Structure 1
Amino acid sequence: MMRQYELVERVNRYNPTTDEALLNKAYVYAMQKHGTQMRASGDPYFSHPLEVAAILTDLRLDDATIAVALLHDTIEDTDATRTEIDTVFGEEIGKLVDGLTKISRLDLVSRQAKQAENFRKLLLAIADDVRVLLVKLADRLHNMRTLHFVKEDERRKRIAEETMEIYAPLAGRMGMQDLRNELEELAFQTINPEAFQTITERLASLREKNTELIGGIERDLTERLAERHINATVRGRMKRPYSIFRKMEQKSIGFEQLSDIYGFRVVVDDLETCYAVLGVVHTAWPSVPGRFKDYISTPKQNDYRSIHTTVVGPSRQRVELQIRTKGMDSVAEYGIAAHALYKDGIKGGRNIARLADESRAYDWLRQTIDMLSQGDTPEEFLENTKLELFHDQVFCFTPKGRLIALPRRATPIDFAYAVHTDIGNTTVGCKINGQIVPLVTVLKNGDEVEIIRSGAQKPTEDWLTIAVTGKARAAIRRAIREAQRDKYATLGRLILQRGFERRGLELNDQVLAPVLLRFSQGSVTDLMAAVGRSDIHAADVLNVIDPTHEEAHHEQIGTERATSPEMAREDGWFDLEGGTGLKFRVPAGSAQETASLPIRGLKGNLPIRFAPDGGAVPGDRIVGILTPGEGITIYPIHSKTLRDFDDYDQWLDVRWDVDSEQAERFPARVAVAAINEPGSLAEIARIISANDGNIDNIKMKRRAADFHEMTIDLEVWDLKHLNRIINQLRGASVVSGAQRVNN
């Protein structure tokens, strides 16, 4: 176990003016608090925070971060408190330790809301101060290095899966590639030990066979660069087992089919020399088409910059090369930690406070967390964040030349939301490289994408199956929820308006505001939506606002018993169930129609749907049935299903309000008895098509040897259109009968 003075010496190597008193105090405090606690390995527990601190000294981090590493488990696992930490070490360190404490026990493999909420807290703490992330990653790295001491197989696998799903991608997104590689390698050993062992053995055999190959290429390339007076460091390596396994899975190929197991890194002094090296490499060996990437001119989101190319080297072996400057190499290795700025007046230590000003990766992380945390459930937050962390990138352009980085397999929907949420919400189509293409098209590097928009467009559930980025999916879900809320709020306002008018009251937001607390609603819109969903009854709202009102009878919305033959014959009353006297009145006068609720079909501003097994079309007399949590179902007045709704508070007086400028089709059903002979179905379909009808579904039953019965679901414009189709069908030689069906 590292001694106290050894830790201070490690920090002094890069920060001669380190606060030794702070480090000594944190060392002693943590050691005393953890006392006799032991780890699964049998080592004193204090060895863990000490190793975490040692990992962070390799990243050359500031004194406060090293102190936090020593203290990060004290609040969670000892009797230390936040108040005590604040008193002894100051509020800054106390806040960081507390931030780590909140998220120290994650179980992200299970999808329970509690664990997902803990993950949300982790990222929010990281967004507030990046040092939380650096300590947490170092903490996880040491835990993975000692994972083999955990006895329970299930627990080891859970920790490894959590590392592979969350921490390794998070390290990669922050540009800490070496740390990511080690986390993935350690997790891979636990998750798939057989594959790890097999690939490791194959690589060892290959390394023994081709030892001279790597050394030969290093010498050859170094000599060629020296001839051009280029000062460069050339390092060769073989791909890691997990990198090979992932590539084999992605491309569904065997180990023998891998062509770029060898990789070389060329590190030079300045940017111009990078391109000079590229020229030397491509002159010496033929390049592999499609294997060149310039991440210097277009850096990755995690600040990674380098030139990648693959060439056919000696022995006809494919060789992958990465060309970068020393500064780029530092960022590639240490990621976000490499951006730390020197403190004023200090030649060695790192100051993390201004990281966001320099690091695109951290800026991306903060923006992503801010966007994902708006209104999503913890489970959705976890899912969307994973989507943001996992994918490699493609680079596309707006028509004005703005570069947009997206994950692979991204679609124009993802592109639109990456530009701006409002653009995503109003997307109706797109052009890629000047050609109109479907929204499901997968984008490729270099595509120019133009989004076609419409103010009438709103996101739909189908978009969730198209989008692959967490940002797009979160925005789509949010827009859908807001649209549903707005629909129910519109419905609730109309329902309350009718109730207020019956009592001679005026509805406005000022009247409703005082009763919000009574109904546990945050705003008038929330109250309206609750009424629209039937979570709150309109009568209850009215009785709270107007408690002195005395109702002589139970209010029935347009429905009552006919008490006399004269009433039953009154114009405007319709028999719902023959012989029972139950009637429903649809107002016929213009003054009465203002009290009925207008509908605009499926695309309107209300949660409207049409009756199953027959639907309804403009021209039908209609009734609305309000179902809690679902909205309004529209039935024709003659539908037998209406007899099942004896709760008259569900009944709504509705009327057609079809927009002539935005015509739409409505569902209807017809039953057709047709002769059983070849071509009869084709003739029926031809008649429907010729009359501008659209067939949605067909069911057929054979009733006798010479005829069968079809049930056809249609989409038509209105009642006249439907009747014209039925009359045309009745006149066909292959049809013996046709009629409309409701229920």
Structure 2
Amino acid sequence: MMRQYELVERVKRYNPLADEALLNKAYIYAMRAHGTQKRASGDLFFGHPLEVAAILTDLKLDDATIVAAVLHDTVEDTEATLDEINKMFGSQIGALVDGLTKIKRLDLVSKQAAQGENFRKLLMAIANDVRVLLVKLADRLHNMRTLQFMTPEKRKRIAEETLDIYAPLAGRMGIQEMREELEDLSFQNLDPEAYEAISRHLRDLTARSEKLVDVIEKDLTAKLEAKGITAEVSGRQKRPYSIWRKMERKSVAFEQLSDIFGFRVIVDSMDDCYRALGVAHTSWPMVPGRYKDYISTPKQNDYRSIHTTVIGPGSQRVELQIRTQSMDEVAEYGIAAHALYKEGVNDNSRLATESRAYQWLRRTVDLLAEGDNPEEFLEHTKLELFHDQVFCFTPKGRLIALPRGATPIDFAYAVHTDVGNTAVGCKINGRITPLLTELQNGDEVEIVRSEGQTPPAAWESLVVTGKARASIRRATRTAVRRQYTGLGRQILERAFERGNKAFSDDKLKAALPRLARVSIEDVLAAVGRGEMFSGDVVRAVYPDFKDDRRGAGEPSVVPQPLGEGESQPAPGGIPIRGLNTDTPVRFAPEGGAVPGDRIVGILTPGEGVTIYPIHSPALADFDNEPDRWVDVRWDVEAGDNQRFPARIKLQSINEPGSLAQIAQVIADHDGNIDSVQMKRRTQDFTDVTIDMTVWDLKHLNAIIAELRAKRVVSRVDRVNG
């Protein structure tokens, strides 16, 4: 375990003006607070925060960050309090420790919700001071280095979380060295056999290629010196997880990979970067499609470098990364490379203008204000953590960076939420193109808009960015609320009219306190969803009102008169949840629906709601009208003596008695035939359409199965309205 003087010495190596007294006080306070606590490895727990602090000294961070690392577990795991930390070490360090303290005693329904809520709090703290992230990443890195002492279940869970969230987050903040180690440690725990196999291949390859790497380094250095370019050239091997991901993505074996080794070229200036590129391309053939200029177009995590691949000495593919020393620091340490923290200054306004990575973080945190639940926030953030990006342009030349695989829908939401919500089409490079086209680097995208458009709910599963998914979900919820509000207004207007009472928004507003609702829209939506009975609203406005329609029992849904071909269910109404008891309801005219079907309601103003099975082809007619869709479900209990309409079509052999056999099967299974239509198909076959009523889907399927077993029946299909 690191001694007290060793911690001070590590900080003073890069910061001779470090506050030695503050560091000593933090060391002693944390040591006493943790006392004899031990980790799963059997080591003293206090060694963990010290190792976290040591990792951060390698990043040359300021005193406050190092002290926060030493103290980061005290509030969560000891008797120490945040007030005590604030009094002894100041509010700045207290805020850092608070941001790192996990939420305790959360009354959440799932582990995923708890994980999402903790991550939400962490990102909020990072938005206030990004040093929280640096301590958290160092904390996770040390935990991953000692993961072998955990149970297999915990190892798997922590490794998955690291690979899903913390490694990508480190990458988005530009801390590549830490990201790569987190990925490799996660890979090692999640798939140890694959990790060991790739590591073994790498060791063998290194032994065979050591001389070749040395030759390439010297050859390239000499060629650059000959052109007057001072450069530091170093070869490095790719990491196991990076290789594994490439093998998976390209479906190739290890032996087929030709760029296991990469060479970093560090030069003095930006001009030298492009001069060095010219030397490389005029000395060796360039591999087409492998040139990327992240200096002129930096990544969103501030990464700047030129990437190219050439066929070097020995016909070996050589991947080059050319950049300056300052670019290299940002590439390795990301946001931690900013002099802002080395000076110990906490000024996020400066950082926001200097760091594209921090700007991305603030945009992500903006999602918190939209009211999404913890699981959704975690999902959206994971979507935003993709590394691979494509760069596209608006017609006015604005650069939009998106994850690889993004579509024009993602592009539209990246420009502005309103642009996404009103998108109806797009042009890519001047050509009209489907909205689901995958965007490529350099595409110019123009979004065609219509102010009356509402994004279809299906878009949510088609986009790849968190912002687009959150915005679509939010717009869908708004449309659904608007739908319920409109339905609720219709129901209340009829209810007031039946009671010969005047209805107005002003009268309803005066009754809000009695209805325990904040706004008129809340009341209308509650009535539309069936959460509030219309008679109760009338009584809230007119206390002397009496509803003669409401008896001792709960009211049921009122069915509309049936159209041609429909079957009337038994008296008592249609038992469906999600609709107000006053809502007129009918089944789909073609085929109906039965309990066991997944169902959806389609609202027709003035006529009520029509119930369709979710797989009904008729629903395609309403794809562009999401505000008419109503979420409904069956409310049928075992023993309910009620039948529901269903329609089947079959082909029977044209012989005497065939219809009698079909009818006998239905009768034997307690089905009730309402109508039969027959049409001669050919001389040998007859098409038969039968409308009947059954108890539920299981009952219907049993009848269909028995009919299919009959010799006189060649085919049976259910008709889905």
Asked if TM exceeds 0.5, the reply is: yes
How do 1:28-39 and structure 2 match up within 5 A? 28-39=28-39
Per the alignment, residue 630 of structure 1 pairs with 632
- CA shift, 1:178, in A, is 0.5
2:2 counterpart letter in structure 1: M
Residue 250 (structure 2) pairs with residue 254 (structure 1): no
Residue 705 (structure 2) pairs with residue 709 (structure 1): no
Structure 1 pair 479–269 and aligned structure 2 pair: CA distance change class (3 A): same
Per the alignment, residue 296 of structure 1 pairs with 295
Structure 1 pair 559–309 and aligned structure 2 pair: CA distance change class (3 A): closer
What is the SS of the residue equivalent to 2:14? coil
Judge conservation of contact 1:372–1:384 (CA < 8 Å) in 2: no
- Alpha-carbon separation, structure 1, partners of 2:65 and 2:269: 32
Choose which of 413, 418, 424 in structure 1 pairs with 2:420. 424
- Alpha-carbon separation, structure 2, partners of 1:607 and 1:269: 76
- Alpha-carbon separation, structure 2, partners of 1:234 and 1:712: 81
Structure 1 pair 51–532 and aligned structure 2 pair: CA distance change class (3 A): same
- Alpha-carbon separation, structure 1, partners of 2:216 and 2:300: 32
Which region of structure 1 is more displaced relative to structure 2, 384-393 or 275-284? 384-393
What is the SS of the residue equivalent to 2:233? strand
Structure 1 pair 22–234 and aligned structure 2 pair: CA distance change class (3 A): same
How do 1:666-685 and structure 2 match up within 5 A? none
TM-score (norm 2): 0.78
Per the alignment, residue 149 of structure 2 pairs with 149
Per the alignment, residue 496 of structure 2 pairs with 500
How do 1:371-386 and structure 2 match up within 5 A? 371=367, 373-386=369-382
Choose which of 542, 545, 553 in structure 1 pairs with 2:538. 542
Structure 1 pair 111–46 and aligned structure 2 pair: CA distance change class (3 A): closer
Judge conservation of contact 1:532–1:631 (CA < 8 Å) in 2: no
- Alpha-carbon separation, structure 2, partners of 1:436 and 1:14: 57
- Alpha-carbon separation, structure 2, partners of 1:166 and 1:558: 47
Per the alignment, residue 70 of structure 1 pairs with 70
Per the alignment, residue 182 of structure 1 pairs with 181
How do 1:238-249 and structure 2 match up within 5 A? 238-249=237-248
Choose which of 513, 516, 523 in structure 1 pairs with 2:519. 523
Per the alignment, residue 666 of structure 2 pairs with none
Choose which of 343, 356, 359 in structure 1 pairs with 2:355. 359
- Alpha-carbon separation, structure 2, partners of 1:105 and 1:310: 53
Per the alignment, residue 432 of structure 2 pairs with 436
Per the alignment, residue 567 of structure 1 pairs with none
- CA shift, 1:475, in A, is 0.8
- Alpha-carbon separation, structure 2, partners of 1:582 and 1:206: 78
Judge conservation of contact 2:14–2:60 (CA < 8 Å) in 1: yes
Per the alignment, residue 598 of structure 2 pairs with none
- Alpha-carbon separation, structure 1, partners of 2:385 and 2:37: 35
- Alpha-carbon separation, structure 2, partners of 1:549 and 1:377: 40
After superposition, the C-alpha distances for 1:482-523 in whole angstroms (9 at most, x for unaligned) are: 100111011112222232344454444443345445444343
- Alpha-carbon separation, structure 2, partners of 1:159 and 1:276: 45
How do 1:162-241 and structure 2 match up within 5 A? 162-241=161-240
1:706 counterpart letter in structure 2: D
- CA shift, 1:609, in A, is 5.0
- Alpha-carbon separation, structure 2, partners of 1:627 and 1:430: 26
After superposition, the C-alpha distances for 1:185-236 in whole angstroms (9 at most, x for unaligned) are: 1111111111111111111111111111111111011111101111111111
1:59 counterpart letter in structure 2: L
After superposition, the C-alpha distances for 1:566-609 in whole angstroms (9 at most, x for unaligned) are: xxxxxxxx9x999x9999xxxxxxxxxxx999xxx969789965
- CA shift, 1:369, in A, is 2.0
Per the alignment, residue 82 of structure 2 pairs with 82
Per the alignment, residue 481 of structure 1 pairs with 477
What is the SS of the residue equivalent to 1:549? coil
- Alpha-carbon separation, structure 2, partners of 1:317 and 1:105: 58
1:383 counterpart letter in structure 2: E
What is the SS of the residue equivalent to 1:61? coil
After superposition, the C-alpha distances for 1:442-492 in whole angstroms (9 at most, x for unaligned) are: 111111111111122211122123211111111111111110011101111
How do 1:544-693 and structure 2 match up within 5 A? 544-551=540-547, 609-612=609-612, 630=632
Judge conservation of contact 1:488–1:529 (CA < 8 Å) in 2: yes
- CA shift, 1:705, in A, is 6.2
- Alpha-carbon separation, structure 1, partners of 2:196 and 2:209: 20
- Alpha-carbon separation, structure 1, partners of 2:24 and 2:424: 62
Judge conservation of contact 1:433–1:447 (CA < 8 Å) in 2: yes
Judge conservation of contact 1:262–1:320 (CA < 8 Å) in 2: yes
Per the alignment, residue 590 of structure 2 pairs with none
2:285 counterpart letter in structure 1: P
- CA shift, 1:627, in A, is 12
After superposition, the C-alpha distances for 1:337-378 in whole angstroms (9 at most, x for unaligned) are: 1124268xxxx5464644223111111111112125512221
Which region of structure 1 is more displaced relative to structure 2, 15-24 or 137-146? 15-24
Per the alignment, residue 695 of structure 1 pairs with none
> Taking every aligned residue pair, what percent have the same amino acid on both sides?
63
Structure 1 pair 342–196 and aligned structure 2 pair: CA distance change class (3 A): closer
What is the SS of the residue equivalent to 1:136? helix
Per the alignment, residue 95 of structure 1 pairs with 95
Residue 373 (structure 2) pairs with residue 395 (structure 1): no
How do 1:463-478 and structure 2 match up within 5 A? 463-478=459-474
- CA shift, 1:2, in A, is 1.6
- Alpha-carbon separation, structure 1, partners of 2:19 and 2:678: 85
2:479 counterpart letter in structure 1: A
Judge conservation of contact 2:538–2:545 (CA < 8 Å) in 1: no
Structure 1 pair 558–87 and aligned structure 2 pair: CA distance change class (3 A): closer
Per the alignment, residue 442 of structure 2 pairs with 446
TM-score (norm 1): 0.76
- CA shift, 1:411, in A, is 0.8
Judge conservation of contact 2:602–2:629 (CA < 8 Å) in 1: no
Per the alignment, residue 17 of structure 1 pairs with 17
Structure 1 pair 701–23 and aligned structure 2 pair: CA distance change class (3 A): farther
Gaps of 5+ in 2: 574-582, 586-600, 620-627, 635-641, 655-676, 692-718
- CA shift, 1:118, in A, is 2.0
- CA shift, 1:272, in A, is 1.2
Structure 1 pair 239–356 and aligned structure 2 pair: CA distance change class (3 A): same
- Alpha-carbon separation, structure 2, partners of 1:385 and 1:448: 26
Judge conservation of contact 1:218–1:236 (CA < 8 Å) in 2: yes
Residue 462 (structure 2) pairs with residue 460 (structure 1): no
After superposition, the C-alpha distances for 1:622-654 in whole angstroms (9 at most, x for unaligned) are: xxxx9995399xxxxxxxxxx989xxxxxxxxx
What is the SS of the residue equivalent to 2:39? coil
Judge conservation of contact 1:535–1:629 (CA < 8 Å) in 2: no
Judge conservation of contact 2:486–2:528 (CA < 8 Å) in 1: yes
Per the alignment, residue 126 of structure 1 pairs with 126
- Alpha-carbon separation, structure 2, partners of 1:616 and 1:317: 60
Per the alignment, residue 409 of structure 1 pairs with 405
Per the alignment, residue 589 of structure 2 pairs with none
Per the alignment, residue 533 of structure 1 pairs with 529
What is the SS of the residue equivalent to 2:219? helix
After superposition, the C-alpha distances for 1:296-332 in whole angstroms (9 at most, x for unaligned) are: 1111111111111011111111111111111111110
- CA shift, 1:672, in A, is 11
Judge conservation of contact 1:340–1:351 (CA < 8 Å) in 2: no
What is the SS of the residue equivalent to 2:400? strand
- CA shift, 1:551, in A, is 4.7
- Alpha-carbon separation, structure 2, partners of 1:523 and 1:391: 44
Per the alignment, residue 49 of structure 1 pairs with 49
Judge conservation of contact 1:500–1:507 (CA < 8 Å) in 2: yes
After superposition, the C-alpha distances for 1:694-736 in whole angstroms (9 at most, x for unaligned) are: xxxxx999999633226699xxxxxxxxxxxxxxxxxxxxxxx
What is the SS of the residue equivalent to 1:175? coil
Count of equivalent residues: 618
1:17 counterpart letter in structure 2: L
Gaps of 5+ in 1: 561-573, 584-594, 618-625, 633-642, 646-667, 677-698, 714-740
Judge conservation of contact 1:295–1:305 (CA < 8 Å) in 2: yes
